[in-house]
Amino acid sequence: MYEVAITEEDLVKARNRYDFVNLNNSITNGASQLYGAIGEVMILKFYKNRLSSLTEDQFNSLIVDESSYDWDLIINDKTIEVKTKKINVTPKEEYVVSVASSNSDQKCDYYYFTMVHDDCTKGWLLGFISKEDFFNKAVLCKKGEIDPLSKRKGFLVKADCYSLRISDITTRIR
pTM above 0.85, yes or no: yes
Mean pLDDT of 53-62: 90
Where are the chain's structural domains? 2-91+106-138
Q: What is the predicted pLDDT for the residue at 136? A: 96
Specify the higher pLDDT residue, 159 or 122: 122
The pLDDT tens digits of the residues spanning 38-50 come to: 999 999 999 999 9
pLDDT-based confidence at 21, cuts 50/70/90? low
Q: What's the per-residue H, E or C state across the chain? A: CEEEECCHHHHHHHHCCCCCCCCCCCCCCCCCHHHHHHHHHHHHHHHHHHCCCCCHHHHHHHEECCCCCCCCEEECCEEEEEEEEEECCCCCCCCEEEEEHHHCCCCCCEEEEEEEECCCCEEEEEEEEEHHHHHHHCEEECCCCECCCCCCCCCECCCCEEEEEHHHCCEECC
Asked whether 51 and 40 are in contact (CB, 8 A), the reply is no
Specify the higher pLDDT residue, 167 or 151: 167
pLDDT-based confidence at 133, cuts 50/70/90? very high
The pLDDT tens digits of the residues spanning 74-127 come to: 999 999 999 999 999 999 999 999 999 988 999 999 999 999 999 999 999 999
